[in-house]
Chains A and B, each alone.
Chain A
C-alpha cells in the first residue's frame, strides 16, 4: 500500500468507531429486550409470602391483566416505586397486582408491607429462584405487564415512576382494554 495512504488508517479506524458510538447513543441502555415479550407467562407454582395462604400457580392469575413486580424489602429502588404501586392498586381496579419477593427474607418483606402498605393482590415468594430464571430477571425491581391471555406485553427493568407509567404502560393498557 502507498505509504501516505497508510497514514490515514488511524483516522479511518477512529471514524468507524465513531459510527458505532453514534449507534450506541441512539439506543437506551436501560431497555434490555426480553426474549419473553409476546410469549406466554412461564408456568410456575410458588409459595405465598404468607404461609397460611399456601401456594400459587400460574392458573390462579391468568384471565386478568397482570402487573408482575419483582421486588425485595432490601432493595432501595423498590422503596422508591412502592408509593406509585399503592396508588395504582387503588386506581386501576381491573389490574391484578402480583408481587414476587426476590430474595428469601420473608420476615422482612412481610414487615415492609405491613408498615408501608401492601399494593399486591397476590404475594409470591420466589423460593428457589426458578421463577426468576424463567422470567430472565436481572435484578430488582423489574416489572412485567401480562395481558388477559397470559401473554407478556412488556418488561421494564428498574424502578417505575409516574412518567414511565404514563408513557409506556398506559398506551399498552389502552390497547388491551
Chain B
C-alpha cells in the first residue's frame, strides 16, 4: 500500500430532505488510524459515511485525503441468483484486485461458500461477503456502516483481525457503530 494522506473532514454539514442532519463536523484520521462514528439513530452516521463515499454531496465543508475509499453500507449489493464467487469476482475485477480476492475470502471465512448462490446465504454471511469485497478492493480507507450488525462472535473476531491488519499496513478505518467493535485506540466522533 502506498503512503496515504490523512483523511481530513473539515466543517462538514449535511442536509437530507430539507432537514439539517449535522453541521460543523470536523475530524482528522491519520494513516493507520480509525474513527468511530457514534450517536443515536438518525443522527447522520450513515449519511456521513455516504458523504465520505461520494454518494452524497455535503451542504458545506470539504473532505480531503484518505486515498482510495471502499464502502460497505447496509445494502450488500449481491445478486440473489449469482454465486458468491461470481459476485465478488466481478467487483474485484472492477477494482483490479482479483489476486487479493482469495485472501479476502479467507479472511472472512467465506472460501467454502464461493459456489453458493447468494439467495441461500444468511444475512450474516452476506454481511461478511460485503466486508470481503472491501478487503479485496485494496482501498486505503474503509468506510463501514455498522459492520458487526448480524455477525456472530467468531465473525466479529475475523473483522477485528482484518481491520487490525489493514491499519498496521497504514490503512484507515471509519466505522459507524453502536457499541464497541474491537477497534483499538480509535478516535470517536459523536453526532447528534
Q: Do A and B come from one complex?
A: no
